[in-house]
Structure 1
Amino acid sequence: MEKKKILFVCLGNICRSPSAEAVFNGVIKKEGVSADFIVDSAGTSGWHAGEPADRRMQSHAIKRGFNLTSLSRKFDPKTDFDYFDMIIGMDDSNIENLKRMANGTADLGKIHKMTDFSQAFDYDEVPDPYYGGADGFELVLDLLEDSCEGLLDKIKKNEI
């Protein structure tokens, strides 16, 4: 079986998308299917390229057992659309940016929104916690844990 390649995308790739990468890696590790996936994250902007995840986000994630080890990078439409099977944006703005960068229907078909996989929450976006307080980082992790489990469930059921 060929590995499923998933890319999580937010604006700066320092809060939400590296957290989604770490959470999904945790979910697939717990399920014993890590070998079936390649998981990465990127940002639609390059403002933080080469930087680690936001320290506040790292701190909240570590408390839940997730280690954010990736370095920020900018989404590259020339290579990322071809390489990844699924490109999952955190909010409507990211989704619109990804759609503008897409080159045809094949690329558009790979774009999904993170909260579309949520099972327990009624949010239509994963909100950016950057300018908020601790509650925002905790909410992001709550949404990502739920949505990552939902994503794996849909993959296992061949629904996506």
Structure 2
Amino acid sequence: MGGIHMIHVLFVCLGNICRSPMAEAVFRKMLEEEGIADQFQVDSAGIGAWHEGLPPHEGTRKILDDRNISYQGMKARQINNQDGEYFDYIIAMDEQNISDLQFLRDQTSNTNIAKLMDFVEKSEEVNVPDPYFTKKFDYTYQLIEKGCKALLQTIRQERGV
């Protein structure tokens, strides 16, 4: 089946324990349900290294457990320069993440760096609020689910998947 280019998607938030691992898990589940998971590599990372090596936050794990979405093997990591070269899509959760990713934008022209909610038409939010601070994991999940659906639709259109 030569010629199929793997599509690399990286979700980014502040510490990589709440929003970005939730998005990674939700997006993986969508790809599995669509039967196209073998065409993608999905990961997540944080701006900071505070939680490096830790599993997703208990609030994120509960939301994913309630919906039977796997997060097995996921551990927080910090984004690095190589991510800018490797990933086709780097999807941030908020404006501050986008600002913090400027170092990658300066070194790559092929990577699509955007906020997750940029893909949602007429979204009630422009950022995905951090449930680490808001404690609103259900609301975060709702936004991430909408964003991931819209992102997948965009990738399908752009890449013919």
- Length-normalised TM-score, structure 2: 0.90
Runs of 4+ that moved beyond 4 A? none
Aligned-pair distance for 1:119? 4.4
State whether structure 2 residue 15 is matched by structure 1 residue 19: no
Instruction: State how 1:77-88 maps to structure 2 within 5 Å.
Output: 77=81, 79-88=82-91
Query: Residues 105 and 34 of structure 1: is their aligned pair in 2 closer, same or farther, counting only changes over 3 Å?
Result: closer
Look up the SS of the partner of 2:132 in the other structure. Answer: coil
Count of residue pairs brought into register by the alignment: 156
Instruction: State how 1:124-139 maps to structure 2 within 5 Å.
Output: 124-133=126-135, 136-139=136-139
Match of 1:102 in 2: 105
Aligned-pair distance for 1:100? 3.4
Look up the SS of the partner of 1:106 in the other structure. Answer: coil
State whether structure 2 residue 114 is matched by structure 1 residue 145: no
Distance, in Å, in 1 between the alignment partners of 2:61 and 2:23 is 12
Distance, in Å, in 2 between the alignment partners of 1:68 and 1:131 is 21
Distance, in Å, in 1 between the alignment partners of 2:143 and 2:25 is 13
State whether structure 2 residue 52 is matched by structure 1 residue 41: no
What letter matches 1:140 in structure 2? T
Look up the SS of the partner of 2:125 in the other structure. Answer: coil
Alpha-carbon displacement from aligned partner over 1:64-101 (angstroms, at most 9, x marks no partner): 22222310000002x10111111010000000000134
- Provide the aligned C-alpha RMSD in A: 1.8
Structure 1 spans left out of the alignment, 5+ residues: none
Look up the SS of the partner of 1:47 in the other structure. Answer: coil
Structure 2 spans left out of the alignment, 5+ residues: none
Q: 1:75 aligns with which of 62, 79, 92?
A: 79
- Length-normalised TM-score, structure 1: 0.91
Q: Percent identity?
A: 38
